[in-house]
Amino acid sequence: MSRTGELIRKYDFTFRKKFGQNFLTDPSIVEKIVDASGAGPDDTVLEIGPGAGAMTVELAKRAKKVVAVEIDSALEPILRETLSDYDNTTVIFSDVMKLTDEELLAAIGEGAVVVANLPYYITTPIIMRLLEGQLKLKSITVMVQKEVADRMQAQAGTKEYGALSPAVQYRAEPVRVMTVGPECFIPRPAVDSSVIRLDLYDRPKVEVKDEKLMFALIRAAFNQRRKTLPNAITGSSELSFTREQISAALNKMGLDERIRGEVLDIEQYARLADTLSDKTAIT
C-alpha cells in the first residue's frame, strides 16, 4: 500500500468529492511533477491543495519554503504527521479563492513557484487567477484533467478551443509534461489527467489597449459559442456594442460577419478589442 493509502487508513480519512479529492499514490509521478516545476533551493513554492502531503514533502526537500493552502481542515492531523520533519512548510487552511492577493503575497512573496495537483471542480478559476499577474509568479506547474490541458494548448478553430485557450496563450506557453491514468490516484478519477507547465511570458504575447475589454469579448464569444460573433457580443450583459459597431470592426479586420468566436486566435481578439475600444462599451 502507498504511504498516502496508509495515512488515509490510519486516520480514517473520508474523501470528499466536493473538494475534488483524488490523491496521488505513485511517488514517481510526484517526483516528475516536482522535477518539471524546476523548484530549487532559492524558491518559495505555493502548493494549492496539498491533500495528504505527498507532493508537499517532495517540494520541501528541494525548495527554500513551501506554503500550502488546503480547504479541508480534516486533513490537518495527516499533514502534521507527513510534514513533521520539514520546518520549511506552512499550511494555511482556507479556500484559496477566498484569500486575497495581498494575503497570498504576504505568505509567499514575489517570484513564487506554483506546483499543484488541482481540484478539478475549480481548475479554470484558479488558473485564471494565477495568470492574472497580481501574484507575480515565477512559474506554474499543475495537474489538471487531460481535456483541460488539451484546451490550454488548443489552436483556434479546433473543437478543443475554448475561452481558456486564448486566455492562457495570452500570458504563457503551455508545455505538456505528461499524461497520467486514473490508476495513479485514490480514489480513481473518471478521466485521464495531464501535468502542464505554463511558461509565463515576461510580457503578454500580444499588445492590446484594453485587456479587460478583450477578456469580456472572449467570455461573450464562448458563453454562446454557437452564435455568430455579433450575436454573441450583442447578447452579452457585460458589453453594450451595437451590431453595426461589431460588423464595422469585423469588416475592418477583413473578417466575415457570420464568423464565430471560436475561430479567432488571441492576436485577433486583441485586434478586435483595439478596434472596438474607441467606442464606449463596457457596462
- According to the binding rule CB under 6 A, does residue 113 interact with ligand SAM? no
- According to the binding rule CB under 6 A, does residue 23 interact with ligand SAM? yes
Of 80, 13, 17, 93, nearest to 49 by C-alpha is: 93
Residues 195, 177: contact at Cβ < 8 Å? yes
Binding mask 27-66 for ligand SAM (x = CB under 6 A): ---------------------xxxx--xx-----------
Pairing of strands 44-48, 113-117: parallel
The one among 42, 95, 110, 207 contacting ligand SAM by CB under 6 A: 95
The one among 24, 91, 177, 216 contacting ligand SAM by CB under 6 A: 24
Of 115, 116, 76, 77, nearest to 93 by C-alpha is: 76
Q: Least distance to ligand SAM from the beta carbon of 120, Å? A: 7
Q: Least distance to ligand SAM from the beta carbon of 195, Å? A: 11
Helix, coil or strand: residue 172:
strand
Cell matching residue 54: 505527498
Candidate segments 35-43, 58-66, 70-78, 175-183, binder of ligand SAM by CB under 6 A: 70-78
| Interacting residues of 230 by C-beta distance below 8 A, sequence separation 6+ | 243, 246, 247, 250, 257
The one among 43, 58, 70, 274 contacting ligand SAM by CB under 6 A: 70
Residues 218, 271: contact at Cβ < 8 Å? no
Q: Least distance to ligand SAM from the beta carbon of 139, Å? A: 17
Rounded to whole angstroms, the Cα distance separating 195 from 119 reads: 13
Residue whose Cβ sits closest to ligand SAM: 49
Question: Which residues bind to ligand SAM, rule: CB under 6 A?
Answer: 19-24, 48-51, 54-55, 69-72, 95-97, 117, 119, 122
